[in-house]
Amino acid sequence: MTSATAPRARVPGPAVGRESRATQSSLREANLALVAATVCASAEPLSRADVAGRTSMTRSTVSRLVDDLVGGGVLDELEPGVVTGRGRPATPLVPGAGIAALGLQVDAGFLAARVLDLRGRVVAGRVVDGAFVGSDPTVVLPLLAALADEVLADLAPGIRLVGAGLALPGLVSPSGTALLVAPNLGWADLEAGHLPVVGGMVPRVGNEADLAARTVAEVAPGRPGPLADFVYLSGEVGIGGSLVLDGRGMPGRHGWAGEIGHVPVDPDGPACPCGSTGCLERYVGRAALLTAAGLPPTASGRDLADAARAGEPSAVSAVARAAWALGVVLAGVVNVLDIPAVVLGGHLAQVADLLRPDLEEHLRTRSLSARWVAPTVTSAGEDPAAGASGAALRELSEVLAHPADWAGAA
């Protein structure tokens, strides 16, 4: 065989072409994510021209990307509005109503299952009261799965479930596949194999307070809330905590940051189920507060608030003691982390207006920076299953981060 007919060695050109195609694909994925994020972040519907202006892309590029996102259900087109001038009416774009995620929650006093869509709406959900302190997960988790099945049966036809999350009050493995310990539930070492299968999926586990805090930082998928930096306290039988900076959680190296409920108020204080003594939740957990107020264990935070407003001495004293204990611990958080905004959730939200004056005064006294930036205390609202909503929001965030996986998929 002569050199004229011998096979030629492959030259670098095709490799460069593959790299170019890969770069183009990555650019498209990034642009899809940018367009989806721009629409979802807006409180009002946007037109293609609006998106082009906000992203600095050409209208033709935005139009192609929007078509792909609408085809995949990540975005929806609404009926065009009325136009009084020249030209065709713009077609408003909103997050897709056909993509949703399931959020589950087990807490000391209830089970919850709810489905949120990309617009942030609860399209189906239920909360069932119960007593789960010291419970058996092999009994409770099948109940949760049955509740989830009931909720999923309520979904309208055509809604696609893209993920499932489970909020639990304890330490979760960094992978989100296992619960390490939940002292108040009495659960430990709960691996993925023990978790229920719901909607054909094993839910991703997360800390309840971290997920509940997400509902404050993010009022709908991809849409920021009014606070970007805050310390969140989740009040139930125990006290969970989460730290949020610039709208994102600060989970720590292993995802275990924010366990404010187990910061000691007084090392010589009462014993805690975690094994320590004098923990914050021994002073401001629901049972501790109700006992101090002379109320039965079946009472609610609202009952405590009513009693304190009525001037019941034990209730007034219980609220004042709780404000002191919170002030001791939270001032340390403010001094160390420079996050002076505090958001109270769970039963603490029900007494937030009563706690606020004394708690803010304690924080001003104990926080070194209070002279320049005064600490503030606000309520997260009284959603009993904020952790379930946060679990669904976390799953939906994956769609917005990687919309190319959905774009063009009917």
pLDDT digits (tens, 9 = 90+) for 76-96: 999 886 444 454 568 999 999
> Around Cβ 392, how many Cβ atoms within 10 Å?
33
Average pLDDT for the chain: 89
Q: Is 294:316 a contact under the CB 8 Å cutoff?
A: no
Residue 18 has pLDDT above 80, yes or no: no
Residue 8 domain-assigned?
Answer: no
Q: Are residues 358 and 392 in the same domain?
A: no
Q: What is the mean pLDDT of residues 128-144?
A: 94
Residue 10 domain-assigned?
Answer: no
Who has greater pLDDT, 50 or 235? 50
DSSP 307-372: HHHTT-HHHHHHHHHHHHHHHHHHHHHHHHH---EEEEEEHHHHTHHHHHHHHHHHHHHH-GGGGT
Q: Are residues 354 and 299 in the same domain?
A: yes
Q: Is 400:389 a contact under the CB 8 Å cutoff?
A: no
Q: Are strands 75-77 and 93-95 parallel, antiparallel or unpaired?
A: antiparallel
Q: Are residues 263 and 162 in the same domain?
A: no
Residue 11 domain-assigned?
Answer: no
Q: Are residues 245 and 124 in the same domain?
A: no
Residue 410 domain-assigned?
Answer: no
For residue 140, the enclosing domain spans 99-215+387-405
Residue 2 domain-assigned?
Answer: no
pLDDT band of 380, cuts 50, 70, 90: very high
Q: Are residues 21 and 132 in the same domain?
A: no
Residue 3 domain-assigned?
Answer: no
- Of 214-228, 250-264, 314-328, 364-378, where does mean pLDDT reach its minimum? 250-264
Q: Are strands 75-77 and 341-346 parallel, antiparallel or unpaired?
A: unpaired
For residue 221, give both structure tokens.
């998928």
Residue 34 domain-assigned?
Answer: yes
Predicted local confidence at residue 236, as pLDDT? 81
Q: Are residues 110 and 198 in the same domain?
A: yes
pLDDT band of 21, cuts 50, 70, 90: low
Residue 304 domain-assigned?
Answer: yes
Q: Are residues 204 and 314 in the same domain?
A: no
Q: Is the pTM of this model over 0.85?
A: yes
**CA 51 to the chain's CA centroid:** 26
Residue 23 has pLDDT above 90, yes or no: no
